[in-house]
């Protein structure tokens, strides 16, 4: 009888493991497809914003113009009908000094971190909280530099049964976080009104 119960218990446990792996694999495939589409410049149309006329043409700058966050932000701006111009097309002479014609917008700092959210009974981490903090600057000629900071948090389950898949899913979740951060930056950009800015606004160093 004991052997029969043990066999049944093992079968049940194995079946549960198979279900967990199947569910995890399906989720991973779905997220991978989303990442591929995003990397190709495709973006699922969600909420779009009414960008002010004076911000519909901007120069997008970045220390890492080909990085994943820069590409995601670029796609999100274009989705919201913002025209992006090169730095060389955004300069004019003001006496002996160069002056920007259109506002400049870009990410200046990006910080990623991971914290333990919960642990297994054996003391190992069961869930992690992934954190993304992005600071961007909107630079308007003769007005100043206006910072905006976005913080995104996501929970990630540390599946001990799928170590290789875990790393892939974690990267896909990070890409989703970048997408969310880019959308939030564009939302804040849509709420910005240049005409309401005091011309004596403090310019950041």
Q: What is the pLDDT of residues 42-60, one digit of tens each?
A: 444 457 899 999 999 999 9
Does residue 152 belong to any structural domain of this protein? yes
- Number of residues in the chain: 205
Q: H or E segment at 137?
A: strand 125-140
pTM tops 0.85: no
Number of domains the chain contains:
1
Does residue 205 belong to any structural domain of this protein? no
**Which residue from 183, 189, 185, 203 is spatially nearest to 44, judged by alpha carbons?**
183
pLDDT of 151 above 50: yes
Does residue 204 belong to any structural domain of this protein? no
Q: State the pLDDT at residue 106.
A: 96
The separation between CA 160 and the C-alpha centre of its own chain, rounded to angstroms, equals 26
CB 5 within 8 A of CB 146: no
- Which of the two residues, 147 and 22, has the higher pLDDT score? 147
Q: What is the pLDDT of residues 57-79, one digit of tens each?
A: 999 999 899 999 999 999 999 99
Does residue 200 belong to any structural domain of this protein? no
**Residue 134, Cβ neighbours under 10 Å: how many?**
23
Does residue 25 belong to any structural domain of this protein? yes
Q: What CATH number is attached to the domain comprising 23?
A: 3.30.160.150
Q: State the pLDDT at residue 71.
A: 96
Q: State the pLDDT at residue 198.
A: 56
Percent of the chain with pLDDT over 70: 67
Does residue 90 belong to any structural domain of this protein? yes
Q: State the pLDDT at residue 20.
A: 43
- Average pLDDT of the residues of the chain: 78
Does residue 201 belong to any structural domain of this protein? no
Q: State the pLDDT at residue 169.
A: 85
Boundaries of domain holding 64 = 2-195
């Amino acid at each position: 009888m004991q052997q029969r119960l043990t066999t049944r218990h093992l079968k049940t446990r194995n079946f549960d493991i198979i279900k967990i792996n199947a569910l995890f694999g399906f989720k991973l495939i779905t997220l991978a497809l989303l990442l591929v589409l995003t990397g190709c410049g495709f973006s699922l149309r969600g909420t779009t914003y009414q960008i002010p006329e004076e911000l519909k043409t901007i120069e997008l700058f970045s220390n890492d113009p080909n990085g994943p966050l820069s590409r995601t932000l670029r796609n999100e701006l274009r989705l919201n009908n913002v025209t992006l111009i090169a730095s060389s097309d955004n300069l004019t002479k003001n006496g002996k000094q160069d002056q920007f014609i259109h506002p400049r917008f870009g990410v200046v700092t990006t910080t990623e971190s991971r914290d333990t959210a919960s642990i297994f009974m054996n003391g190992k981490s069961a869930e992690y909280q992934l954190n993304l903090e992005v600071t961007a600057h909107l630079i308007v000629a003769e007005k100043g530099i206006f910072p905006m900071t976005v913080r995104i948090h996501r929970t990630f389950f540390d599946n001990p049964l799928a170590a290789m898949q875990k790393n892939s899913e974690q990267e896909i979740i990070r890409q989703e976080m970048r997408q969310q951060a880019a959308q939030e930056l564009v939302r804040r950009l849509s709420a910005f009104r240049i005409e309401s800015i005091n011309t004596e606004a403090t310019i950041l160093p």
